Structure 1
Amino acid sequence: MFSSLLTPLQRVLHSGRPSHEPSMDELVKQSIAIVEQRKKAAVPWVPDEPHDQPYYRWVDGGWQATKPGVDSSGAAGEPKPAAPGRLALYSWNIDFMLSYGDSRMLAAIRHLEELCSAQASEIPIVIFFSECLESDLKVITSDSYVRESFHVTDLNRQYWQSGHYGTTTLVDKRLAIQACFRIHYSKTRMERDGLFVDLSLGTTQPQKPQQKPLRLCNTHLESLALDPLFRPPQLALCARHMHSPDVHASILAGDLNAIQDFDKHLHSDNELKDAYLEMGGSEDDAEAGHTWGQQAATAQRERFGTCRMDKVLFCGKVTCQSFERFGVDVQIQNEREREDIVRLGFDKPWITDHLGVKAVFSVDAE
C-alpha cells in the first residue's frame, strides 16, 4: 500500500534534503510527473504470460547475469546448492515516498541482517522487497551482506512493469534457482506484476522423475478501492501458476492491499492458505495482525486506521511452522534526516509505513 492509500502515480522520492519543507500535495504532483515521464513506450513481454529474466550472482567482484537452471556450484566462494527442507521468507514494503530513500533502505537491510543472523543457521532465507526504486536496487546490490549471502533478481528496472518502481527478490546462495520470470498484469492501473522464482528441490535420480520445484511469488497487488476491481484477477492469475501440476508447492507474499471485505476471502477463493490464519491469527485482531497504519503519518492513521495489507499465502506440499511480523519501530539515525521526516507529520522517523511479515515453512515429502 502507498502512504495515505495513494497510487504510485502519487508518490515521489527525495534523495536529498529539499530546499523547503515539501507538503504532501507537492510530493503528489512531483510523483505524477516522474511516473508519467518514465512510462515504458514499448515492452518485450505479453501481458499475463510468463516472461523469463536472469538472476544475478556476485562473482569475482561483480554481479553476473545467470540463466536459471545453470549449475553455479563451481563458482569460487559459493556454497554448493542444496534442496531446502525448511525455508524462512521475509516480505517488506519499504515506502518510497519519503525523503532519504538510501538511508531508509540501508536501515531495512541492517534490520533484516540482524533478524536473519538470529535464526537457525541451517534454514535458508529469501527476502521479498516491494515499492523499490532503481536507487533502492543500487543500495541493495552495493551492500556487503547482500553480496556475501544472496543472489538477486534485479539490478535495474528493466523487467519491471513500471518504469519507476517495482519488486525485487533476494535468494539465499545455498538455494538453486531453477526458473525466474515475471507475469505483468494486463488488468492494472498501477503497473503491477508478479515476480516468480522456482527453487530446485533435488536432482534427477536414475529411473526417477525430476523433483518438482518450490515456487515463490513476490507481488504487490493493486491499491485503492476502485471499480472495476483488479486485485481479484491479479491474485487469481498468480494462483493459477501456484497450482501448476509442475510444482511441488507454492508460496506467495507481499503487499496485497487488503482494504475491502472481499480481500478477506481472496485466498480461499483461490484455494490458497493464509499463513497468519493457519497459525491461529484472527482477522479481527488489529493488535496482533495488522501490518499497515501503525507507522503511517499521524493524519493518515487517524483517517484510515490500520489494516492487514501484507500477507503470506501458500498451497501444495509445504507446512507453515511459524508466522510473525517484524520491522516495528525501525528508524533512520541521522539527526537532520529524522527531523525532516517528523516534520512531514510522523510520530517518529520510521523507515516505512508497513511492518514486514515473516513465515517459516517446511517442505513436505512427495
Structure 2
Amino acid sequence: MSCTQAPPLPTDLDAPPTFQGWYTFDSSSDYCKPVQPSSTSTPRDGRTTQSSTDTKSEPHALTLVTWNVDAFSKFPDDRMAGIISTIRNQTPPPNILFFQEVSRAALGYLFDNAWIRENWYLSEGDFKNWGGYAFATVMLLSKADFSTEEQDTDKICIGPVWRVNYPSRFDRDALCCDVFLPPSATRVRLINVHLDSLALQPSHRPRQLAIVAESLHLAGHGFVAGDFNPILPEDDGLVAANNLVDIWNETHPDEPGFTWGIDGREPFPPGRLDKVAVHGLKGDQIEILHPGALESAGHGLLLRKLDTPLPWSDHSGLKCRLHLAEAPV
C-alpha cells in the first residue's frame, strides 16, 4: 500500500474534500516549505524484509494532544507559549498535535517557535486556509515518529492531508489526514474538528459528525478529536449513534471530564466539550491538561504585569494514547 495513494472518501455532495500539502521549516529560506511527496519507486505494501522482521519493535502508539487554544483572548503568542511549554513537558511526549481556534497570531507563533520548527510537520505553511475568518484548525506530526518517505520503514508514513467542507453555519471544516503504521502499512485516519458552536436550531453537528464517522469507517481505523461543542441534549448521543467509541467514557465512566467552564468565569455550567472518539483503535489512557494562567504578558520593554491572571485558554486540553485494536469495531 502506497502512502501517496488516493484515500477512500465519502461521496457526499454536501461535504467535498479540498486537498492541501504538508509543510516543514526550511532554515535556508526562514520559511515553511511544502514537503515533497515520497519519490520511492517501491512503495511499502505490507511485506517486510528479513532484517526488519528480526528487529521488529513494539507497535507504534499514537499519542495525541488536542487543545482549543482560544482565538479571541488577548496575548495569543504568550498563551500559546504556555500551552506549548506544557506539551513539551509531557511524558511520554505526544507525536500528534491538534489545535482548534488557531488565530493568525497564534499560527505566527508556531511558525516562529524553534521547537516547532525543528521537530514537527505542519498542515499549514501560510494563512490561505483562514480565508476571511478569524481562526482555523491546525495539525502537527512529530518528525521523531513520522516520515514523508515510504522507504523510512521505522517510522509512521505520512499520507495526504485535506479539509472536508461540511455543512456549517460558521464555515467550519474537518481537517483530515491518513497515516500508515509499520510494518504492515495499516491506514489510520486522523480528523481534527471544531464542530459548530451554540445551541442554534437546526443544529449542523449531527450531520457534521455523521460525515466524519463515515470517513473513519471507510478508512478502517482512525479517530476524530477536538471541540465537539455538545450544547444540546441530542449531542450527548452522537458519538455512539455513529458507531464510534468515546475514549473518556470508556476509560473514566464515573468522572465528568469537564474541559470547559471549570474556573467559574463563564456564565454557563461546566461541560465536556472536547472529546476523542475512535474506530478500530483502542485508548489505554486519556487525561485532561488544564491551562495555566499568565501573570504578565508582552516581551522586553513591553512586558507588563496583568491586573487579573489570564488563562492560556478557556478550554483544557486532552492527552490520549491510542493503538490499533485487534479488529475494527
- Alignment root-mean-square deviation, CA: 2.4
Find the residue that maps to 2:310 and give its secondary structure. coil
Where does 1:260-339 land on structure 2 (aligned, <5 Å)? 260-282=232-254, 285-286=255-256, 289-295=257-263, 298=265, 300=266, 303-316=267-280, 318-331=281-294, 333-334=296-297, 339=306
Tell me the number of residue pairs that the alignment of Structure 1 and Structure 2 aligns.
Answer: 282
The residue type paired with residue 238 of structure 2 is: L
Find the residue that maps to 1:177 and give its secondary structure. strand
Structure 2 Cα separation of the partners of residues 179 and 352 of structure 1: 30
Structure 1 Cα separation of the partners of residues 215 and 58 of structure 2: 21
Structure 1 Cα separation of the partners of residues 297 and 130 of structure 2: 31
Aligned match for 2:180, one of 174, 180, 200: 200
Indicate conservation of the 8 Å contact 2:83/2:291, yes or no: no
Indicate conservation of the 8 Å contact 1:56/1:151, yes or no: yes
Find the residue that maps to 1:200 and give its secondary structure. strand
The residue type paired with residue 287 of structure 2 is: E
Kindly state the Cα deviation for residue 293 of structure 1 after the two structures are TM-superposed. 0.4
1:225 is the counterpart of 2:199: yes
Find the residue that maps to 2:128 and give its secondary structure. coil
Corresponding residue for residue 95 of structure 2 = 125
Corresponding residue for residue 44 of structure 2 = none
Indicate conservation of the 8 Å contact 2:177/2:191, yes or no: yes
Corresponding residue for residue 23 of structure 1 = none
Kindly state the Cα deviation for residue 64 of structure 1 after the two structures are TM-superposed. 1.8
Structure 2 Cα separation of the partners of residues 234 and 54 of structure 1: 23
Change (3 A) 1:249 1:83: farther
Indicate conservation of the 8 Å contact 1:128/1:170, yes or no: yes
Identical positions, percent: 28
Structure in which a larger fraction of residues adopt helix:
1
Change (3 A) 1:334 1:215: same
Indicate conservation of the 8 Å contact 2:33/2:125, yes or no: no
Structure 1 Cα separation of the partners of residues 204 and 25 of structure 2: 37
Indicate conservation of the 8 Å contact 1:332/1:350, yes or no: no
Corresponding residue for residue 316 of structure 2 = 355
1:243 is the counterpart of 2:217: yes
Q: Could you list the runs of 5+ residues in structure 2 that have no partner in the other structure?
A: 1-12, 41-56, 147-156
Structure 2 Cα separation of the partners of residues 189 and 132 of structure 1: 18
Corresponding residue for residue 106 of structure 1 = 81
Describe the superposition over 1:225-252 as per-residue Cα deviations: whole angstroms up to 9, x where unpaired.
Answer: 11111111011111111111xx341111
1:56 is the counterpart of 2:31: no
Structure 1 Cα separation of the partners of residues 132 and 237 of structure 2: 28
Instruction: With the length of structure 2 as denominator, give the TM-score of the two structures.
Output: 0.79
Structure 1 Cα separation of the partners of residues 223 and 130 of structure 2: 21
Structure 2 Cα separation of the partners of residues 354 and 202 of structure 1: 34
Corresponding residue for residue 191 of structure 1 = 171
Change (3 A) 1:93 1:231: same
Structure 2 Cα separation of the partners of residues 171 and 83 of structure 1: 20
Structure 2 Cα separation of the partners of residues 67 and 248 of structure 1: 26
Indicate conservation of the 8 Å contact 2:162/2:176, yes or no: yes
Find the residue that maps to 1:131 and give its secondary structure. strand
Indicate conservation of the 8 Å contact 1:138/1:155, yes or no: no
Corresponding residue for residue 20 of structure 1 = none
Where does 1:64-103 land on structure 2 (aligned, <5 Å)? 64-67=33-36, 85-103=60-78
The residue type paired with residue 172 of structure 2 is: R
Kindly state the Cα deviation for residue 114 of structure 1 after the two structures are TM-superposed. 1.4
Find the residue that maps to 2:138 and give its secondary structure. strand
Describe the superposition over 1:68-103 as per-residue Cα deviations: whole angstroms up to 9, x where unpaired.
Answer: 5556xxxxxxxxxx9962110000011121111111
Structure 1 Cα separation of the partners of residues 37 and 206 of structure 2: 30
Kindly state the Cα deviation for residue 219 of structure 1 after the two structures are TM-superposed. 0.6
Structure 2 Cα separation of the partners of residues 103 and 48 of structure 1: 36
Structure 1 Cα separation of the partners of residues 226 and 68 of structure 2: 7
Change (3 A) 1:50 1:114: same
1:163 is the counterpart of 2:139: no
Kindly state the Cα deviation for residue 338 of structure 1 after the two structures are TM-superposed. 5.2
Structure in which a larger fraction of residues adopt strand:
2
The residue type paired with residue 311 of structure 1 is: K
Aligned match for 1:139, one of 109, 116, 127: 109
Change (3 A) 1:267 1:191: same
